[in-house]
Structure 1
Amino acid sequence: MNPLKKIAFLLLLLNNFCFASNNSDTTLIKSHLTVLTKTHKFRTYQNVDQLNETANYIKGIFEKYADSVYFQEYEVNGQTYKNVICSFGTAHKKRIIVGAHYDSCGDQEGADDNASGVVGLLELARLLKGQKLNQRIDLVAFSLEEPPFFRTVFMGSYIHAKSLMDSKTEVYGMISLEMIGYFKDEKKSQSYPLGLLSLIYGNKGNYITLVKKFGAGQFTRKFCRTFKSAKAIKTKKFAGPPALPGIDFSDHLNYWNFGFSALMLTDTSFFRNKNYHKSTDTMETLDIARMAKVINGVFGTLIKL
């Protein structure tokens, strides 16, 4: 091989390496999902020891990559629960929050709901390490999103959002990763809160959805535009009034309540995944390849904002 071809070949290898390093690793995704879902006890609010074990695992992964990592602890009925927070680009004042809850509802693995979102955080932490950022990015794993604490002041996301408001932190916006791993290509695999929406969005559950309320703010508009333009995965955008069933069914609702611009990134939950809150919500039902593409899309958008 002549010297010029050798240099070109090495540059190609270097380019391929750099491209690969900025993409989600499906092997790591499977490994994280296994740790989070194949546990001795389920990740419910009753099993505080299991929640603590999960929080420690998340913190340990965050510590490999982030500028800072800490627990945000709070008490509910005499028990201590923890949000796990890590930060990148801490020199910046304005910040973006990316959150996902790690508790599950009842005696089930909670693979899509919401180990998938938590794995999204873990992979984002790896991808964000060493990146040049325009804003500070905080990744937050929330406790107590599920009933009986949903829509109460005991949600981990409420505790976190309130702390940002109380400290007058400058928040650019928030993204809630809520069920990002379930996809179906079959006809009639997707339903909607209003049947007529199938005429607009189709009846196949083969896309990820960016969900926001009307007037959700500048951040959500820019995030949605940038995410869709990247074309990492088939994406649809949905905007509606907060009263529409399902539009606020995750942690972003607490950021809305405190006046922050926020959206939910989701596979549409029970409108598609019929394993929702059932023992059949296992990691074997997830589409790891498309889940990786969702994470790639979030990462690519974050570094451009």
Structure 2
Amino acid sequence: MENWTLNIPDTMNRLQKHLEALTVTIGERSVVLPENLHRTQEYIENFYRSLGLHVKTETYAYENFTVANVFAEISFGTQPSQTYLIGAHYDSVAGTVGADDNASAVAVQLETARILKALEGHADLHVTVKFVSFALEEPPVFTTRYMGSRVHAANIVKHKERIDGMICLEMVGYTCRQPGCQDYPFPLMFMGYPKEGNFIGIVGNFPSRSFTSSLKKSFEKNTDLPVVTLSVPFNGWLMPAVRLSDHSSFWDKGIKAVMVTDTAFYRNPHYHFRSDTMEKLDYRFMAELVESLLIFLRSHTGESP
């Protein structure tokens, strides 16, 4: 396990194949095209099954059709010390194929699952990881009860399931490397954050500070992917931009959660435009994020508290 390393070129190639399937073969994945949402659901289900994972769906009605959250689980050890949820929404905003938003996150999610599954029997880990792909997040569903993450978070509370931390992957594939290309919401632009968009961001609320700190500590071991963190009070209501994804559904239910992001429209000028296409993405950046996530998960050895 100590000598385990990620094959970055292979992972980059696999990520590109996921992006091609999601944004070219399927294309727009919005409520305007429910058939494409279903095709995306099937793609995710089939991928998990190809890994030998048991797949479950969480179906619910939206308007005149049915959608489904898709989830699979990988557990190490007879008594796992921690349980984490890695989530990403698989829909796109109407009129776009949503490469960065949010096919990039689904691709990273799937590749993290693939490599974690391959570690079974070769790693002394004590951790359970739940992978959940949320059906709906984009407008006009955002902030309504039809968000896939709201449905799932409510069911976690209802069934008293254990979740020690939720990692929301939200737009994780775009970089910009010119000084000044990275923006921030007020007042962060005055606080010395990087001017180039070559880092991954981790945003947590105050109750998730220990979880954010633990992730940062692990991510910093990957020197090829800079990481910047932010902890916000009052579940982010004083800075609404930091609530714009599925992690906020978990914050509002009292579950520790973070958003892992390339900072969305503060970096990516193609946000919610037709130009959000797969050739704009940085696949090395995405592969390094897979590596960072695995470093965190692999830190939960038999000696973990």
TM over 0.5: yes
Q: Is the CA contact 1:68–1:88 (under 8 Å) kept in the aligned structure 2?
A: no
CA distance in 2 between counterparts of 1:269 and 1:183 reads 10
SS of the residue 2:25 aligns to: coil
Structural mapping, 1:74-85, within 5 Å: 74-85=60-71
Give a deviation string over 1:248-294, Cα, whole Å, max 9, x none. 11100011111110000000000010100000100110011111101
Structural mapping, 1:87-236, within 5 Å: 87-89=73-75, 92=79, 94-129=82-117, 130-131=119-120, 132=123, 133-194=125-186, 197=189, 199-236=191-228
Select the residue among 26, 30, 40 that pairs with 1:44.
30
Structure 1 runs, 4 residues or longer, greater than 6 Å off? none
Aligned to 1:270: 265
SS of the residue 1:73 aligns to: strand
Structural mapping, 1:216-295, within 5 Å: 216-241=208-233, 242-243=236-237, 244-295=239-290
Identity of aligned residues (%): 34
Greater Cα radius of gyration, structure 1 or 2: 1
Aligned to 1:296: 291
Structure 2: give runs of 5+ residues left out of the alignment. Answer: 301-305
SS of the residue 1:247 aligns to: helix
Q: CA deviation at 1:96?
A: 0.6
**TM-score normalised by L of structure 1:** 0.89
Q: CA deviation at 1:209?
A: 0.6
AA aligned opposite 2:23: T
Cα distance change, pair 229–20 in 1 and its aligned pair in 2 (3 A): closer
Q: CA deviation at 1:67?
A: 3.7
Q: Is the CA contact 1:187–1:204 (under 8 Å) kept in the aligned structure 2?
A: yes
SS of the residue 2:14 aligns to: helix
CA distance in 2 between counterparts of 1:196 and 1:171 reads 30
Counting matched residue pairs gives: 291
Q: Is the CA contact 2:88–2:109 (under 8 Å) kept in the aligned structure 1?
A: yes
Cα distance change, pair 43–194 in 1 and its aligned pair in 2 (3 A): same
CA distance in 2 between counterparts of 1:23 and 1:41 reads 25
CA distance in 2 between counterparts of 1:115 and 1:144 reads 13
SS of the residue 1:209 aligns to: strand
Q: Is the CA contact 1:82–1:143 (under 8 Å) kept in the aligned structure 2?
A: yes
Q: CA deviation at 1:228?
A: 2.4
Q: CA deviation at 1:125?
A: 1.2
Select the residue among 50, 54, 65 that pairs with 1:64.
50
**TM-score normalised by L of structure 2:** 0.89
Q: CA deviation at 1:300?
A: 1.4
AA aligned opposite 1:139: F
Cα distance change, pair 24–228 in 1 and its aligned pair in 2 (3 A): farther
Select the residue among 30, 39, 49 that pairs with 1:53.
39
CA distance in 2 between counterparts of 1:291 and 1:189 reads 19
AA aligned opposite 1:76: Y
Q: CA deviation at 1:225?
A: 2.2
Q: CA deviation at 1:170?
A: 1.1
AA aligned opposite 1:47: L
Cα distance change, pair 158–44 in 1 and its aligned pair in 2 (3 A): same
Q: Is the CA contact 1:59–1:84 (under 8 Å) kept in the aligned structure 2?
A: yes
Aligned to 1:10: none
Q: Is the CA contact 2:202–2:212 (under 8 Å) kept in the aligned structure 1?
A: no
Q: CA RMSD in A?
A: 2.1
CA distance in 1 between counterparts of 2:126 and 2:46 reads 26
